[in-house]
Amino acid sequence: MKQLLFLFTFCLLTSCNKRVVQLPETTNKDITEVIDVSPVYMFYDEETDSVEFNRRNMISATNWLVNIDKRLTLKQILPHLQYLQEKRQGDEKHTFHNYFTCNNTDLKDLSFIKFTNDKYSMNIENGDYESDKIFIYVHANGKTSSSNDLHNEYESFSRYINLKKEYLKNNSQFEAILFLHEALTFQDYINIKSQLLSVKSDSLNITNNQIIFN
C-alpha cells in the first residue's frame, strides 16, 4: 500500500503538465487504504478562477479516488459531482465506490472519505421534503442555523454539532437534510463531512440528499 500511495501522490503532483491539486485536509482516519482504484481530478485554475475536470483515467470497474482542489467552491464542482454520482449509480450493486482523497494532518498521509451514496441537488425548496425533517443550513460565512432552532445562529457547523450532542443523546431520532451555500469551498465541505463522521450517535441521521443553495 505504501508503494501505491507513493506512486499515486507522485502522479497527483506531476501529472497533467505539472498542475497541482491542493487536497483538502482532514483528521478522519476511518478509511486509510483503498485498492483497485482509478483517479479523477478537479483542478483549480487561479488565473480564470475556474475548474478543470479531468476524468481521462477513470475506469468504471474500479473505485474512484476523486481529487478535488480545496479552493474550489461547491458551485464550481457541483455539476461534476453530479456527473460522477450518476455514473456510479449505474452500478446497482455498488461493487465499487467513490472516495474523496484528503491529506490527513494527523497521519501525515492520505485518507479517504466515501461518498458513493450522496446525492447533490441545486436549490430544492424545503417544501419538497417531509415536514418531520430538520433542515440544517450552512451559510456562505460558515455560520449555521436550523429549522428547529430559528432564534439561534451558530458560528460554525462544528459549533452547532457540538452543542447539539446532548440533544442527540436524549432523542431517538434526529433526521436532517443539509443545505450548503454554493460559495462554501471544498475544504469547508470536507470539514463538515469530517465533523459528521466524528459524531457517533444512532440518533443522528443526515440524509444522503445534500442541497446546494444560493
What pLDDT tens digit does each residue of the chain (214 aa) get?
Answer: 443 444 444 344 434 457 899 999 999 999 999 999 999 999 999 999 999 999 999 999 999 999 999 999 999 999 999 999 999 886 556 689 999 999 999 999 999 999 999 999 997 655 455 557 889 999 999 999 998 888 889 999 998 888 877 666 666 567 889 999 999 999 999 999 999 888 766 667 788 899 999 9
How high is the pLDDT of residue 13?
A: 45
Range of the domain at 129: 121-213
Q: Residue 175, CB half-sphere, CA atoms under 13 Å: how many?
A: 9
The verdict on 157 and 106 lying in the same domain is no
The verdict on 55 and 161 lying in the same domain is no
* Alpha carbon distance 65, 99 (integer Å): 5
The verdict on 107 and 125 lying in the same domain is no
How high is the pLDDT of residue 200?
A: 66
Residue 195, C-beta contacts closer than 8 angstroms, at least 6 positions apart: 157, 158, 161
Q: Which helix (H) or strand (E) holds 160?
A: helix 157-170
How high is the pLDDT of residue 128?
A: 54
Q: Which helix (H) or strand (E) holds 181?
A: strand 174-181
The verdict on 102 and 154 lying in the same domain is no
The verdict on 94 and 145 lying in the same domain is no
The verdict on 24 and 101 lying in the same domain is yes
pTM of the model: 0.88
* Alpha carbon distance 133, 118 (integer Å): 17
* Alpha carbon distance 39, 53 (integer Å): 11
The verdict on 33 and 111 lying in the same domain is yes
The verdict on 7 and 113 lying in the same domain is yes
Phi, psi of 178 (to 5 degrees): -90, 130
The verdict on 8 and 51 lying in the same domain is yes
Last residue within a domain, chosen from 71, 89, 117: 117
Please give the tally of structural domains in the chain.
2
The verdict on 164 and 134 lying in the same domain is yes
Paired sense of beta strands 109-114 and 119-122, if any: unpaired
How high is the pLDDT of residue 59?
A: 94
Buried b vs exposed e over 99-130: b needs ≥16 C-beta within 10 Å? bbbbbbeeeebbbbbbbbebebeeeeeeeeee
Instruction: Find out whether 165 and 204 touch, Cβ atoms under 8 Å.
Output: no
